[in-house]
Amino acid sequence: MSARQQATDRLMADYQGQVPGAALLVLHDGQPLYARGYGLASLEDNTPVDAQTNFRLASVSKQFTAMAIVLLAADGRLQLDDPLARWLPGLPPATRDITLRHLLVHASGLIDYEDVMPDGLQGQLRDADVLEILKGQDRTYFTPGSSYRYSNSAYALLALVVEKASGMAYPQFLHERIFSPLGMNASVARTDEGPAVAQRAWGYSHIDGQWQRTDQSPTSAVLGDGGIYSSISDLARWDAALYDQRLLPAQWLQQVFTPGNTVQGETDVSHYGLGVRLQGEMVWHSGESIGFRNVQIRWPQRKLSVIVLSNRNAPEPYALARRIAVIWGAPAP
C-alpha cells in the first residue's frame, strides 16, 4: 500500500469497522487512483461497503436533474428560459415570472416545500405532491431572478418538467438518456413501484449512543431534489462523461459549468451553475438526507475528482474530502 493510500485510510478511520460506512473514490484523468469501501452498508446483515454499493445521493442528485433539463433543451424540446407556467400551469400569480433557468440556479424564490408540508401527513411526498403544495403558496421569498436561495422545491418541479417535455417518467428518462448510455447500470431514481436498489446501503443515525436505521423520511420519495441511488463505480462513469461530448455537445455542456447565480452565505461557493456549485477551480455538490451524507468534488483543470458517499447522519464529508484531495494533488483549502 502506498504512502498516499495509507494517509487516506487514516483520514477514513472513523468509517472502518462494524459501523455505517463510506465509499471513497479518487479519480485522475478518468482513472481511479484509489477506490475503497469502509464499514458496513447494512448493520443488520453485516454487509460491507464496496465500490458497487449504492447510496442515496440526496442533493448530489441535482446534477442529474439539471442534466436532464439541458438534454431536453439540446433536443429542442424546451428552452432554459421558458416560463415555468408553460410546463406546470396552475401555480399562483406570485410565481408567474419564474423561468426554468431560475429553478436551475436557485433564483426562483419558491417557498421551501419542507416548511409548508401538511400536518398529519400519511406516507411520503412525491414530486407531484410538491407541486400541489406550492399551488397553495401565492408568495415567493424574493422577486424571481433577483437573488439566491437554495431550493429543493425548484428541483422537484424540474423533475416534473422533464416528464412533461419528454413524455417519460423521470426515472425512465434518466435511465434511457443518462444511466444506460454511460453504463451506470445500477443507478436508479428509486420509487416503491420501481426496481429494487441493488447492493443498497441503508441509512443510519447515531441516537442515544447507538446506530439506528433511519433510511426514509416523509420527503425521501421526492426524486428531483435528491432521490437517486448510485455507487462510486457508476459515478466514475458520470465523472468521465463531464469531460467529453458523449452526453451533450460542448456548447451545451459548457453552460452547466457557467456561473448562473451569485451565492452568498454558503461556505466555499461563489456561484451556482446548472446543478453544480462553483468555487475557484472546484465544481462540487454535497448531499444530506436522513441517514446519508455525501460529497462529489471535481477540479476539472487538473482532471482530479474525489467522491465520498456515506450511510450515516454525520459528519458531513466535505472537509474530509478536501483533506483527502490534497493528498492526491489538489490545492490546499
CA Rg, the chain, in Å?
19
CB 286 within 8 A of CB 273: no
Kindly report the number of other CB atoms within 10 A of residue 251's CB atom: 9
Residue 59 falls in the annotated catalytic set = yes
3-class DSSP assignment, residue 197? coil
In 3D space, the residue among 79, 99, 276 whose CA is nearest the CA of residue 165 turns out to be: 79
Kindly report the number of other CB atoms within 10 A of residue 245's CB atom: 11
Q: Taking the alpha carbons of 12, 14, 18, 22 in that order, is the dihedral positive or negative?
A: negative
C-alpha cell at 195: 426496481
Task: Name the active-site residue from 2, 42, 59, 153.
Answer: 59
Rounded CA-CA distance 329/235 in Å is 20
What ranges make up the beta strands (E) of 134-220? 188-189, 204-207, 210-213
Q: Please, which residues have CB within 8 angstroms of residue 125's CB and are 6 or more apart in sequence? A: 113, 117, 133, 218, 219, 221, 222
CB 20 within 8 A of CB 13: no
Residue 267 burial by Cβ neighbours in a 10 Å radius (0-12, 13-18, 19+): exposed
Active site residues: 59
